[in-house]
Amino acid sequence: MMWFLGALVASVVLLTGSLQAADLPAYETLREQIMEAERVASLGGNIWLSSDEEKANSILMNAKRAEIAEGLKTPEKYAPAMHFFQGRQYVRQSEVFRMIQKMPKGAFLHGHNTGMVTSRWIIQNLTTTNNLYTCRNVDGLLVFTYDQSGCHSEVQNVCTERINAEDRGKYERQLEKHINMHGPRPEALLPNRKKIWERFENIFTTVDRLYKYRPTYCAYHKRMLEELCEDNIIYAEIRASLSPLYDDNNRTLSTLEVANELERIVEEFKAKHHDFIGVKVIYAKRNRASEEEMLRRITTFKQLHHAKPNFVIGFDLIGQEDTGDPLNRYINQLSDLPSTANYFFHAGETNWNGRTDWNMMDAILLNTKRIGHAFALPKHPQLWSTIKKRNIAIEVNPISNQVLGFVWDLRNHPASFLIAENFPIVISADDPGVWGAKGLSYDFYYAFMALAPAEADLRFLKQLALNSIKYAVLTSDERRKINRVFQRKWQEFIANVLNPKF
Ligand SMILES: [Zn+2]
């Protein structure tokens, strides 16, 4: 209540300007009240910390303040103000980042399965089978393939090339460049948004057939789960297309069989990792299609959801939003969703104002459970109150927005406004494997150091983790379990930070 009165007094004074600057003690008090009111109203402002958490918070904040102070002296090494491709080397040296890596982060709610695993691991582990080749497709793009169909150049056996290479490491790094956007000069790409998106989408074409082979698909997803655990994530909802797979007997697995396969992999993993709560699927298809095609997709989704209501939980449309079809083209096809299913639309992933960004309005009118990105949300005050009232979580993906060219300096990310206004947001990573990140830690680091105020502290990070659980789609049993596991892991984390050997 006190903070509220303070804020009220402060805002009245700001409006009327009735305080004389000469009245210094009162002036200072008011400044503090205004700052305190902002702090309390922002994301994490209502979190209460135990005495151990307060101690851990001091350690965290000492590291954060030291990093900011150092950044003022050597801005050329201050990662939060740099592009991720140039800043990553400094993030890795950061004490704050080290703490965030160790912190339990709850749930990963916005990720595309085929973009989530680190590219180095993929090259070193999934390209070693004898039957794998590379060739150029009709657009001259390098693709992995197990046969020669669709090749418009000579095929090269990857194993033979690797053996014949003078320097195996160099050969693998070259290969990795085809599936990772990371490069030393991101600014060269930035003036041309079309090029960025082409390069991004080409990566998924390059690996498309690699993952359609059942054994590779399984190995890939097992690794995805391991990488989530390594980053202290205990649950995920992933966007996946569940496209048909084929196996060694040349048998084709249907979409439903692929869903079964994925669920089996998750269950096997859970049996060995008791603290891992699980993975659910948001069936995601391209945002360009005829009305008939869209109807087929939504029908397939309904069948999948009917067969596996607690595994295939929702539907989404993906792809570059500015060049895709607007959501309102499909209102007829999308208006009839089973009551147990949800939409999780990508919407407002744009720099436009008054065009593509209206997708956010349509997503809300279609009763979306969460919105992917909503990068343009601050421009639409009519949507704010509905989002808050209906608790529609915004899935913010800072590094993705930067790499895909929506914002250069993440301190200018529009989610700073959402944080100040305590919107229901979660931080996620979209396709971390495609740009050299891993799990959620890098995005949490940028959210903490660039998007949030300088003095945002452990309360902010804890609130982000709690939000990720709050806005996940869980049964009451799963929710009880995830809360229990998270509380325990959080206490272990705090004890760890307080341990002198940390
Ligand atoms: Zn996405």
Active-site residue, 112 included: no
Question: What is d(CA 152, CA 269) in angstroms, rounded to the nearest whole number?
Answer: 39
Active-site residue, 267 included: no
pLDDT in tens, 272-310: 999 999 999 999 999 999 999 999 999 999 999 999 999
Q: Which domains does the chain have, with CATH numbers?
A: 97-118+196-489 (3.20.20.140), 121-189 (no CATH)
Please give the distance, rounded to the nearest whole angstrom, from the Cα atom of residue 321 to the centre of ligand 1: 10
Q: What was the pLDDT predicted at 470?
A: 98
**pLDDT at residue 4 is higher than 80:** no
Give the pairing type, strands 342-343 and 346-347: unpaired
Q: What is the 3-state secondary structure (H, E, C) of 418-458?
A: HHHCCCCEEECCECHHHCCCCCCHHHHHHHHHHHCCCCCCH
Question: What is d(CA 467, CA 426) in angstroms, rounded to the nearest whole number?
Answer: 6
Catalytic position from the list 263, 349, 380, 413: 349
Q: Tokens at residue 415, please?
A: 């989610």
pLDDT in tens, 29-49: 999 999 999 999 999 999 999
Q: Tokens at residue 163, please?
A: 């053996």
Q: With contact defined as beta carbons under 8 Å apart, do 387 and 396 qualify? A: no
Q: Which residues pair with 245 in a beta bridge?
A: 253
pLDDT in tens, 61-112: 999 999 999 999 999 999 999 999 999 999 999 999 999 999 999 999 999 9
Please give the distance, rounded to the nearest whole angstrom, from the Cα atom of residue 192 to the centre of ligand 1: 20
Q: Work out the average pLDDT over 455-459.
A: 98
pLDDT in tens, 195-252: 899 999 999 999 999 999 999 999 999 999 999 999 999 999 999 999 999 998 889 9
Please give the distance, rounded to the nearest whole angstrom, from the Cα atom of residue 145 to the centre of ligand 1: 25
Q: With contact defined as beta carbons under 8 Å apart, do 80 and 407 qualify? A: no
Question: What is d(CA 339, CA 245) in angstroms, rounded to the nearest whole number?
Answer: 30
Catalytic position from the list 83, 305, 373, 380: 373
Q: What was the pLDDT predicted at 171?
A: 96
pLDDT in tens, 367-392: 999 999 999 999 999 999 999 999 99
Query: With 0-12 CB in 10 A as exposed, 13-18 as middle and 19+ as buried, what is 347?
Result: buried
Q: With contact defined as beta carbons under 8 Å apart, do 111 and 431 qualify? A: yes
Please give the distance, rounded to the nearest whole angstrom, from the Cα atom of residue 420 to the centre of ligand 1: 24
Q: Tokens at residue 237, please?
A: 């909802």
Please give the distance, rounded to the nearest whole angstrom, from the Cα atom of residue 110 to the centre of ligand 1: 6
Confidence band for 1, pLDDT divided at 50, 70 and 90: very low
pLDDT in tens, 119-157: 999 999 999 999 999 999 999 999 999 988 889 999 999
Spell out a b/e string for 260-291, using b for 16 or more CB atoms within 10 Å of the CB, else e.
bbbbebbeebeeeeebbbbbbbbbbbebebee
Tell me what the pLDDT averaged over the chain comes to. Answer: 94
